[in-house]
A = this chain, B = another copy of it.
Amino acid sequence: MISKKISLQDIANMAGVSIATVSRVINQNGRFSKETEKRVKEIIKKYDYRPNQMARSLRVKKGKVVGIIVPDVTNEFFARMALELQLQLLKHDYVAIICNTNESRDIELTHLSMLKSQLVSGLIYITHDVIEEKSALNVPTIFIDRQPITTGLNNGHVFIESENIQGGFLAVNHLIERGCTKIAIVYLRGSISSHLSRYDGYKKALSSAGIHYDEDLVIPTDIVSFDNGYNITRQLLDEHTNIDGIFFTADILAQGALRAISEKGINVPEEIKIVGFDDISASTFSSPPLTTIHQSVDKIADLAVEKLISMMSEEKSDRFVFKVPVHLIIRGST
């Protein structure tokens, strides 16, 4: 059971010093003797004292709060990322407010206004979608997965993503090593940099293996969903019977494909091999389990929080773009 609320004043009384001194010890600024420090720290520990964050925030006009903006928390990748970020922030005594915008700019503005009233001191955007403006709040901001289009990144803004080109390369190269020669790609078209990069990786792998690049095998799509993956694959296989490998830039598309292929009575991986991207949990259970490119949610989150914390402490970042390695996970579909 947790003890009654104790204040700075209480600690000061017990230590026989003023509240100012206690505050200095806690925040490790100003001067104080080793002795007082020791005494104060002991008392703090003894009573499990924790400064009242609200009072602190009010005083310094900045809360230990960061906003996390995601377009859709039902998407497993976003959800895991948001939760992991929140966890990391908690370790630094920051509270995270996760705002789900449901792709709506209006909702986003409402949330932003709300965040303002919480005195947020940092912002993290996780989104595949277009970000037209930089953050509306004037605070350090991290963009994950998707680079904002307007402004070149600069001080106060950092962009973090997976090594998407490398990921695309790994995926397709793996198919090549497994003997595939007619390799199709299904990717999300548009300005979504992460998917375009994966497409670049595809081209790179093909050319480095000396395989002919065939426009007909490149299928852009607008929606990332199970059903869409299913439909696209049906059509693709109707039109091209000799395809022996497909790279999908998202697992969920590949899952739809697996269903379509199985319905056609084609064997995976014997007759056709499939690689996805993301490593969602369903890819472990599907039959066959899906070979995919694993994005390190944890590493991205750790890096994001680390950078954000340092930016919030006024330390300027020397770099504005960070890439986090990905790796290939080989499963039954290849």
Contacts and interface: CB of A to CB of B under 8 A. Distances in A.
A95 B112 contact: no
A82 to B, nearest CB: 7
A2 B113 contact: yes
Count of chain copies? 2
B117 A50 contact: yes
Given A255-B285, A287-B258, A83 B80 contact: no
Nearest to A290: B285
A226 B55 CA distance: 47
Given A50-B114, A117-B50, A259-B287, A99 B90 contact: yes
Given A2-B136, A117-B50, A262 B287 contact: yes
Contacts of A259: 285, 287
B87 A80 contact: no
Given A80-B79, A83-B79, A2 B116 contact: yes
A63 interface: yes
A189 interface: no
A284 interface: yes
Nearest to A83: B73
Contact of A51 (B63, B82, B117): B117
A281 interface: yes
A97 interface: yes
A38 interface: no
Contacts of A287: 258-259, 262, 286-287
Contacts of A114: 50, 90, 93
B98 A83 contact: yes
A284 B57 CA distance: 46
A146 B272 CA distance: 46
Contact of A285 (B2, B97, B113, B226): B226
Interface string A106-147: 000001111011110000000000000100110000000000
Nearest to A73: B83
A5 interface: yes
A52 interface: yes
Contacts of A58: 52, 54-55, 58
Contacts of A258: 285, 287
Interface string A280-292: 0110111100000
Interface of A: 1-2, 5, 48, 50-55, 57-58, 63, 65, 73-74, 76, 79-80, 82-83, 86-87, 90, 93, 95-100, 111-114, 116-119, 133, 136-137, 226, 255, 258-259, 262, 281-282, 284-287
16 contacts: A2-B112, A50-B113, A50-B114, A52-B117, A53-B118, A54-B58, A54-B119, A73-B83, A76-B76, A86-B98, A98-B98, A226-B284, A226-B285, A258-B285, A262-B287, A282-B285
Given A50-B117, A76-B281, 20 more contacts: A1-B133, A1-B136, A2-B113, A52-B58, A53-B119, A54-B63, A54-B119, A55-B58, A65-B95, A76-B76, A82-B83, A95-B95, A96-B98, A258-B285, A258-B287, A259-B285, A259-B287, A282-B286, A285-B285, A286-B287
